[in-house]
Copies of this chain bind each other. A is one copy, B any other.
Amino acid sequence: MTKPQAGRTALDPEMFDPVCPSPLVPFRVGDKWAALILRCLQDGPRRFSELKVPLRGVTAKSLTQSLRRLERDGFVVREEYEGTERRVEYALTPLGLGLLGPLDAACAWTREHWDELIDAQEAGLPGATRRP
């Protein structure tokens, strides 16, 4: 079986559940998955397949794309380890680590105003008071 090396805990498969598609909402970093990935890496390096777990429904292609972009922009580093079993890990750079600060601030604001955000959207969509 695949043993998680050392003491780092595995990612919570539901860390981005329930409904909330992204803990960012109106904020976004890069593409759809980028911010989620950064948060997954905050406790240390993670393997490709490890990242797929909490990022429910992400395809390998999308995940690779996001990781490549994060790598290109200097927020993440990719490290390939050699051995009998293949092993690639992604980790935050200092820059990526620093990004977590304002990112958390944005997430906090979103959580604080979650109800207002939902209410405002529901008021904005329906058929009641519409411009023709």
Binding site for B on A (CB under 8 A): 26-30, 34, 71-75, 93, 95, 98-99, 101-102, 105-106, 108-109, 113, 116-117, 119-121, 123-125
Query: Contacts A102-B106, A105-B105 known; A74 to B28 CB distance under 8 Å?
Result: no
- Which residue, of A26, A29, A98, A101, has the highest number of chain B Cβ atoms within 10 A? A26
- Chain B residues with CB below 8 A from A108, complex form: 102
The SS class assigned to the A binding surface is: helix
Q: Which residues of B contact A27 (CB under 8 A)?
A: 27-29, 102, 106
Selected from B93, B106, B119, B125, the residue in CB contact (under 8 A) with A72 is B125
**In the complex, which residues of chain B have a beta carbon less than 8 angstroms from the beta carbon of A102?**
27, 102, 105-106, 108-109
Q: Complex formed: what's the CA distance from A105 to B108 in Å?
A: 12
A37–B2 Cα distance when bound, in Å, is: 49
Q: Which among B30, B93, B124 is the interface contact of A73 at CB below 8 angstroms? A: B124
Contact status B116-A95, CB under 8 Å? yes
Known: A73-B124, A121-B74. A99 touches B29 (CB 8 A): no
Contact A116 B74 (CB under 8 A): yes
Chain B residues positioned under 8 Å from A106 (CB to CB): 27, 102, 105-106
Contacts of A26 in B (CB 8 A): 29-30, 34, 73, 75, 99
